[in-house]
A = this chain, B = another copy of it.
């Protein structure tokens, strides 16, 4: 992979990269389409990265279907699918991690304390192997995108980071590989995330400026659906992820809700 990317770069080709954990859905395909537009050479990686899962999380339950992924990749015009295995990326005596001091202490990082260390580390490794000019990530994982942008700036990676808006099902459910683990009833409860974001959007349109009022209403809406357990609902600064109490500029509203055993996330940029 390293030698191939060197060759591409020497030929003057632009390398575009879409790192994923596989089980591709429409959201991933949109990332690939963007990568296809931006790169002469399009690399997709598929790797369910163990270091970004905590001990009680769903590493084993994470859905996989390599055959289907490869067919979709081919259809999108991907040039290379890079599928390292665990042993290749985390060999004996592995001990080096990339860690951010502030951004992970918010949102998902609170209930998933090792998650963003794992994300920053594996993305660093993949960047060093794939050597892209540009890498494409989804905005659904808002905090992940913020972490990667900050890491790229801080560690001086010469890579352009592109964020792509969340792709949703016809009824508003944000596309996620984890949606496949929802029963039909749970899927209906999953709609509560997007509904609460739309409701918050309307509250702000009507002049509400207090985050606490908006969050309380969102919380009430979500709890009215069966099997929902709120991890967090936050209104925060899109760059620092620090909480915002009074909304007088663009903010991100982000939330995580467990539906049965499946944890879903969603977010929306809101402006007063």
Task: Give A residues with C-beta under 8 Å from B.
Answer: 2, 6, 9-10, 12, 89, 91, 93-103, 120-121, 124-125, 128-129, 131, 150-151, 153-158, 240
Interfacial chain B residues near A151, Cβ < 8 Å: 96
CA distance A162 to B117 in the complex (A): 29
Query: Is the Cβ of B158 less than 8 Å from the Cβ of A128?
Result: yes
Q: Other than the known A93-B150, A128-B156, what 10 A-B pairs have Cβ atoms closer than 8 Å?
A: A6-B9, A9-B9, A9-B10, A93-B102, A93-B240, A96-B100, A97-B100, A98-B99, A99-B99, A125-B156
Query: Is the Cβ of A128 less than 8 Å from the Cβ of B155?
Result: yes
- Measured CB to CB, the closest approach of chain B to A93, in angstroms, equals 7
- Measured CB to CB, the closest approach of chain B to A103, in angstroms, equals 7
- Measured CB to CB, the closest approach of chain B to A265, in angstroms, equals 22
- Measured CB to CB, the closest approach of chain B to A22, in angstroms, equals 20
Query: Is the Cβ of A97 less than 8 Å from the Cβ of B93?
Result: no
Max count, chain B CB within 10 A of own CB: residue among A12, A98, A121: A98
Interfacial chain B residues near A157, Cβ < 8 Å: 128
Interfacial chain B residues near A125, Cβ < 8 Å: 154-156
CA distance A9 to B131 in the complex (A): 13
CA distance A189 to B154 in the complex (A): 41
- Measured CB to CB, the closest approach of chain B to A155, in angstroms, equals 5
Name the one of B6, B94, B97, B150 contacting A99, with C-beta atoms under 8 angstroms: B97
- Measured CB to CB, the closest approach of chain B to A71, in angstroms, equals 28
CA distance A120 to B97 in the complex (A): 10
Interfacial chain B residues near A124, Cβ < 8 Å: 155
Max count, chain B CB within 10 A of own CB: residue among A96, A102, A120, A129: A96
Report 5 cross-chain contacts, Cβ distance below 8 Å, ordered by A residue.
Answer: A9-B9, A96-B100, A98-B155, A128-B155, A128-B158
- The verdict on A158 contacting B2 (CB below 8 Å), with A9-B10, A10-B10, A99-B99 known, is yes
